[in-house]
Structure 1
Amino acid sequence: MNISPDIFKPFILKDLIARVSNPVTVKKNVFYTQIGIRSHGKGIFIKDPVNGEELGNKRVFWIEPNCLIVNIVFAWERAVAKTTSDLNGLIASHRFPMYKIIDHVDLDYLTHYLLTPKGKKLLEDASPGGAGRNKTLNQKDFLESQILLPSLTTQQYISNFLLMLEKRIQLQQQKIDLLQEQKKGYMQKIFKQNNLTWKSIKLQDVFEERAERGYNHYDLLAVTLSQGVTDRTDIKKDTSSEDKSNYKRVLPGDIAYNSMRMWQGASGYSKYTGIVSPAYTILKPKEDVDSLFFAYLFKTDFMLYEFKKYSQGLTSDTWNLKYPLLKDIKVKIPSYVEQKGYLIFY
């Protein structure tokens, strides 16, 4: 889709949109459902209902349909969305101002625009302050911002095209979600622990801990819930320490896991040579052990329960599973040949 730049004209946002607000008269014994807005254009989510007494003196407003809605605390992270009639009867705090279209702009186009790099810069420029919660959107500066727009007809054409793509993405995501559920079901059957031919072992019988440090020149790796062990360059946000002398070496075939999130499935088989944060534990497979088989086994409900049971800490935020605790976990496994055979399913 090619749009000639010469058809774009400058506009000031205050000439295109106007703030709307319908305050809620909060009653103590009435339940209200609030909304929130995720950053990075990930949309609106609905919170659990609360009664008026819990809301207290909080200023809240009825959701108006067909509006641009902004989270002023995280506008700089593109926490913007479009309201719909599905949200009628829900409320939002004063931190979520809503704007109606008044002239020459398509709501879907404007919402998509604010999610682009140029839109992000506009929101950042109107959000002075330091990092995080101090970067609050100045609504006056926001409305004084300039935006370049094509004709309304062109805006609507672009919006319809983008909405069509979004619907296709949603359909594909639904298919992926169904396949993930199907895979999870198969995993529970394949790795079930009531197989009479499998032998019972402790994890220390098949893995030892790798705690090798001093490999600062190696690439940085990460362990995530969804992707397992991955190259850190695939993750945009880098929170690693500048001094990596204490970081641990990972080799291909190792299993690395987040000691505080093992019970949630934050582990994975490594295809890479690299280093990870000292917060991770590295499992080095012993002879005649297929670590990829164990990487899948560690994601099953049974193993996640075992990891949770063996973790130490007062609350889930502090639960920790280091190797000295993990090594004593008992599990049933097939022979080495069978371990490799099961992997044909993956």
Structure 2
Amino acid sequence: MVPEGWEKTRLDEHITIKHGFAFSSEYFDPNGEDIVLTPGNFYEEGGFRPLGEKQKRYDGPIPKDYILSPGDMLVAMTEQTPGLLGSTLFVPSVDRYLHNQRLGLIQKLEGSNINLNFLHLLLGMPSIRRRISADSGGTKVKHTSPSKITGLDVLLPPLPEQKKIAEILSTWDRAIETAEALLATARTQKRALMQTLLTGKRRFPEFEGQEWREVSIGDVAREVSIRNKENAALPVISCSKVVGFVNSLDYFKKQVFSDDLSGYKVISRGQIGYPSNHIEEGSIGIQNLYESALVSPIYTIFEPKPEIDAMFLFRVLKTDLYRQKFAAATNASVDRRGSLRWKAFAQIKVPLPSLGEQRRINAAHDAVDDEIQLRSEQAKKLRTEKKALMQQLLTGKRRVRVETADAV
């Protein structure tokens, strides 16, 4: 049912979409002044994603028709990552951006009554994205075309109402951006803490003057290897690169372990484990999910001795410095994983402050982790609330009041 005052229309009555240019990789240069936009510059839900040092830059001949202007609207026509197809962004005002292949430049037709900010929101709706995906081509990588997008039937409210809806939802975008900026700041603070507190470069006043020792892991921890001989039905966990141990079924959404668990290893709460065949990828975790759980036989498990706090040791071993040390110890390369068994692992040196300072460092990290969790939940809540509001406003289930001034 079409809401009162709205119209059902096809997008080709309002916009055209222009293909991008195939810029030659021969001229890609990290020091180039121009930026070549790629599907990686789109957030899945829509919006411009900065890529930092990974951004493609260009130093070569440029057809003038493919230099973008600030505020230009682009749509991703290739699904580089799941959910990306149909995502849109507006070109930022900083730097000069180039219109690359696989991206469509959306241009409003003269006399059209569509607002591009409203269209950006409309193309972000899950129902629209599903229609774009269902009509896409490709086997391994989905792709669409300008005609498939402009052939979509949509509901459009009057132009003043479109503008008002876009204005309302933009306030949610700003709130989300603020929450995500605070989250990014908290994560940056955590990285700084890990680089300074865990290495002794930064000290708390009450511990100034107390020397740190350097000890081998084998001096402060012992290997534990208990097999699940009774085939007990304990939860099976795996180690991720980012967060440490996760429930295997929940994380992978399918069973990735054997039906026969009798050969698996038991890992108790507070013990640390890593897959012996690829620890250099950063896969190491402390088991704080269950009293007891199971891991694959390829895992090495160890528990700290009383003179070292388990969480402190885990945090030290989770830093980039130790990832590099693990890679060096395994002789791993870009093309090959390395193996690191307990005998060699136990020889790696770690810093050891007093137990009191270890716990003080842990407390500082816990405070930052709590803030990261809070900021993450705030951003997630705002995104959920915006999504629900979009569904109401963009379908006409909830109408906005347009004042006379807004309609001008």
Determine if the TM-score, normalized by the shorter chain, exceeds 0.5: yes
Would you say the 8 A contact 2:275–2:300 is kept in 1? no
CA positional deviation for 1:35: 0.9
SS of the aligned residue for 2:288 comes to: coil
1:96 aligns with 2:103: yes
Find the aligned partners of 1:146 and 1:312 in 2 and give their Cα distance: 57
Which structure: greater strand fraction?
A: 1
The answer for the alignment partner of 1:50 in structure 2 is: 58
Partner of 2:157: 150
Q: Which residue of 2 aligns with 1:77?
A: 83
User: For the residues of structure 2 that align with 1:101 and 1:12, how far apart are their CA atoms?
Assistant: 13
Are 1:283 and 2:281 matched, yes or no? no
List per-residue Cα deviations over 1:118-144 (Å, max 9, x = no partner): 1220221221343x32x2214322221
Q: What's the % identity of the aligned pairs?
A: 17
Give the structure 2 partner of residue 188 of structure 1.
Answer: 195
**Counterparts of 1:110 and 1:260, CA distance in 2:** 49
Cα deviation, residue 220, structure 1: 4.9
Tell me which of 176, 180, 183 is aligned to 1:173. 180
AA aligned opposite 1:252: R
Specify which structure has the bigger relative contact order, considering alpha-carbon pairs within 8 angstroms and separated by 6 or more residues.
Answer: 2
**Equivalent position of 1:255 in the other structure:** 272
* SS across alignment from 1:147: strand
**2:126 aligned to which of 117, 123, 138:** 117
Distance 1:69 1:220, change over 3 A: farther
Match status 1:343 vs 2:362:
yes
CA contact (8 A) 1:253 1:284 kept: no
Give the gaps of 5 or more residues in structure 2. 202-208, 367-408
CA distance, structure 1, for counterparts of residue 4 and residue 272 of structure 2: 55
Instruction: Tell me whether 285-294 or 260-269 shows the greater mean CA deviation.
Output: 260-269
* TM-score, normalised by the number of residues in structure 1: 0.76
Q: Would you say the 8 A contact 1:223–1:256 is kept in 2?
A: no
Secondary structure class of the residue paired with 2:44:
coil
Matched, 1:208 2:223: yes
Q: 2:170 aligns with which of 154, 158, 163?
A: 163
1:182 to partner: Cα distance: 2.9
Counterpart secondary structure, 1:190: helix
TM-superposed CA distance for 1:329, in Å, is 0.7
Mapped to 1, the partners of 2:107 and 2:116 lie a distance apart of 8
Q: Aligned to 2:169, what secondary structure does the other structure show? A: helix
What SS is found at the alignment partner of 2:333? coil
C-alpha separation in 2, matches of 1:19 and 1:49: 24
Q: TM-score, normalised by structure 2?
A: 0.66
Where do 5+ consecutive residues of structure 1 fail to align?
Answer: none
One-letter amino acid of the counterpart of residue 76, structure 2: N
Q: Does 1:229 align with 2:237?
A: no
More helix by share: 2
Q: Deviations over 1:127-175 (max 9, x none)?
A: 1343x32x22143222212223333333322222222222222223323
CA–CA distance in structure 1, aligned partners of residues 294 and 165 of structure 2: 45
After superposing the two structures, state which structure 1 stretch, 91-100 or 206-215, moved more: 206-215
Distance in 2, matches of 1:270 and 1:7, equals: 59
In 2, the alpha carbon distance for the partners of 1:168 and 1:89 equals: 27
Number of paired residues?
Answer: 333
Correspondence list, 1:292-331, <5 A: 292-315=311-334, 317-320=335-338, 322-324=340-342, 325-331=344-350
CA contact (8 A) 2:39 2:102 kept: no
Rounded to whole Å, the distance in 1 between the matches of 2:257 and 2:36 is 41
Give the whole-Å Cα distance in 2 for the aligned partners of 1:36 and 1:294: 41
Aligned-residue offset at 1:285: 1.0
Give the direction of change, closer, same or farther, for the CA distance of 1:318–1:104 in structure 2 (3 Å limit): farther
